[in-house]
Chain A
Amino acid sequence: MKSDQTAASGSDESAPDTSRPDPDATGRVVLDGAGIQRAVARISHEILERNGDPETIAIVGIESGGVPISEMIGGRVREISGAPVLLGSLDVTLYRDDVIGRGKRPVPHRTRMPFSVRGLRVVLVDDVVFTGRTIRAAMDAVIDFGRPEGIQVAALVDRGHRELPIQVDFVGKNIPTSRAESVVFRPSAGGDYEVVLQ
C-alpha cells in the first residue's frame, strides 16, 4: 500500500525515531552545518519580512526533527529584530492519519505550547517536508490551541512528492528525490547538524 511505504521511508513522515536509518549508514551530505546556518538565516529574514511585527509570530517546531531547527530560527529572529519571539513545540503523533490506523504505537513526546495561538501567525517548522501529512496533522494540532491569524510552514528541505495540498512558505533547499530515497536531518560527527540523502 502506498501509505505504508510513505510511513516507512522519508524522515519527515516517520513518527517513531526507531525508523530513522542508522547514523553510520552511508549517504550523500546535501546540507552541512554551514549550509544549515545559511538556510536558517535566510528563512529567519523571510519570516520577518513577510510578517512584520515579531511579537505576533510564534515559531513552533514539530517533534522531533523540527524542534532544534525551530530553536535556531527563533534565536535568529530574536537577534535580527531585537524583540522576543514565542517558541513552542508540537508532537503530532496523536493527530496523524497513519497512526490512527493499526500498527505498533510510537511513544509521543510532550507538546510544549505555553501560549494561546489566538491572533498569532504560527510558523510551523519541520526538518523535511515530503507527503505533507505531518504538516496536515500539525495544522489540526495548532488549531486545538486557539484560532491563529494564520499558519505558515518553514522547512530545511522540501523533497517533493506531496500527497496533500500543502505548500512550504519558507524553504532552505529544494531537493529532488525519488520515493525510494530518504532524506535525514541528524547530528553530524562534528557536533553540528547535517542533512543526508540516502
Chain B
Amino acid sequence: MKHLLGIEPLDRDEIGQILDAADAMLEISQREIKRVPTLRGRTVINLFLEPSTRTRVSFEIAAKRLSADAINVSSSGSSLSKAETLNDMAQNLAAMNADVLVVRDRTAGVPAMLAERVRIPVVNAGDGAHEHPTQALLDAFTVRQSLGSIEGRVVAIVGDIAHSRVARSAIHIFTKLGAEVRIAGPPTMMPVGIEELGVKPCSSIEEALDGAHVICMLRIQRERLEGALFPSVREYSRTYGLDLRLLRLARPEAIVLHPGPINRGVEIGSDVADAEPSRILDQVTNGVAVRMAVLYLLTGEQA
C-alpha cells in the first residue's frame, strides 16, 4: 500500500492489516502519556481544501500521537485556478520534505491526481462524492469492536446514497469483508446501477432495517440539497429519519453509526443518537486509532 486513495483498490488482507494495527493504536490513546516515538522527525501535512473540523483534528491528533509533526493547510485566500494551484501547492509542500500528504477536497479524484505528482504517500481524507476511506475503516473497526466480526452481518446504509462518499466507501469495505449490504433512501438519492457494487437497494427504510446488525445513517447535507431532491426536511425526517420505533426492526444487539456531524431530528432522533445502540462517539475515538494505523503503515514503504 503506497497511498490510501480509497477502499475500492484495497484487498481484504490490506484492510485487515489496517484494522489490526488500529487495535494496537487504540490502546495508546488510553494511556496517560498518549505518544509513541515511531514517526519521530516525520512531517504530516493536512491539506484541507474543504471545511472540516473533526476529520482534520483527528488526523492531526493521530500524527502527534505517533510523534510526527502535523502542519495544517486550508484553502482560504486562494484565488488561482484550482487545478494549477493545487498541483503547485502540493509539489511545493512535498519539496519541503514532508513525509505524508493528507488531502480533503470537494472534487472527486484530486487525491489520486496529486498522488501521481508528488513522491510521498497521499491519504484521501474525503474527495467529493467519491470516497472517504478512513471513515469506512473506522466504521468497520467499530463494528468489529462491538459485534466481534463483520462477515455475514447485515449492514443497512440509509440516506443520500448518491451524493455520499461515506456511503460509497462503506459499501466497498463491508462488501469486501463479507457483510450483506442494504441501502435505502429517497428515490432521487439512490444512484442508478448501484446493485453492481453488490448491494441490495431497498424501497423503504423498514425493509433495509429488518433484521440488520448495523445501521449506518448518513448526514443529510441540508445546505447543499434543500428543495432540490426532497420536498422538505420535515418530510425527509418522517420517512427516513431513524427513531426508536424503527430501531426495533433491527436485531436486539444492533448498533447505530453516523459519520457526524449529526442533524438531530433530521436523519437521526435524539432518542437514538444518545441511546445505548449508538456508537457515534466510539467512532470518533476509533477514528484517531485508524488514522494512526494508516499513517504508520504508509510511512514504511518508501523506496
Contacts and interface: CB of A to CB of B under 8 A. Distances in A.
Interface in B12-44: 17, 20-21, 23-28, 31-33, 35-40
Contacts of A103: 300-301
A18 B28 CA distance: 24
A75 to B, nearest CB: 24
Given A105-B301, A107-B17, A95 B27 contact: no
B23 A110 contact: yes
Which of B21, B297, B301 gathers the greatest number of chain A CB atoms within 10 Å? B21
A140 B33 CA distance: 12
B79 interface: no
Contacts of A93: 24, 38
A111 B21 CA distance: 11
B38 A107 contact: no
Given A91-B24, A111-B27, A105 B300 contact: yes
B31 A105 contact: no
Nearest to A106: B300
Contact of B21 (A108, A116, A144): A108
Interface in A95-134: 95, 99-100, 102-105, 107-112, 116
Contact of A100 (B31, B40, B302): B40
Contacts of B59: none
B240 interface: no
A111 B24 contact: yes
Contacts, number: 59
Interface residue tally on B, bucketed by range = 20 to 34
A165 B298 CA distance: 33
By secondary structure, the B interface counts as loop
Contact of A110 (B24, B40, B296, B302): B24
Interface string A125-168: 00000000000000010001110000000000000000000000
A64 B28 CA distance: 18
Contact of A145 (B20, B31, B38, B39): B31
Interface string B264-301: 00000000000000000000000000000000110111
By secondary structure, the A interface counts as loop
B20 A107 contact: yes
B300 A140 contact: no
Given A102-B300, A108-B21, A108-B24, A94 B31 contact: no
A94 B38 contact: yes
Contacts of A116: 32
Nearest to A116: B32
B253 to A, nearest CB: 24
Contacts of B20: 107
A145 to B, nearest CB: 7
B145 to A, nearest CB: 12
A144 B38 CA distance: 14
A102 B302 contact: yes
A91 B38 CA distance: 12
Interface string A72-93: 0000000000000000000101
A109 B17 CA distance: 11
A10 B26 CA distance: 30
Contacts of A108: 21, 24-25
Contacts of B23: 110
A144 B24 contact: no
A182 to B, nearest CB: 23
Contact of B36 (A95, A102, A105): A95
B21 A100 contact: no
A94 B300 contact: no
B298 to A, nearest CB: 8
B140 to A, nearest CB: 16
Nearest to A145: B31
Interface of A: 91, 93-95, 99-100, 102-105, 107-112, 116, 140, 144-146
23 contacts: A91-B24, A93-B24, A93-B38, A94-B28, A94-B36, A94-B38, A95-B36, A95-B37, A99-B38, A100-B37, A102-B300, A103-B300, A104-B301, A105-B296, A107-B21, A108-B24, A109-B24, A110-B27, A111-B24, A111-B28, A112-B27, A144-B33, A144-B36
Interface of B: 17, 20-21, 23-28, 31-33, 35-40, 66, 296-297, 299-302
Given A95-B38, A108-B21, A145-B31, 8 more contacts: A95-B37, A99-B38, A103-B300, A105-B300, A144-B31, A144-B35, A145-B32, A146-B32
The 6 closest A-B pairs by CB, nearest first: A105-B300, A108-B24, A94-B36, A94-B38, A144-B33, A110-B24
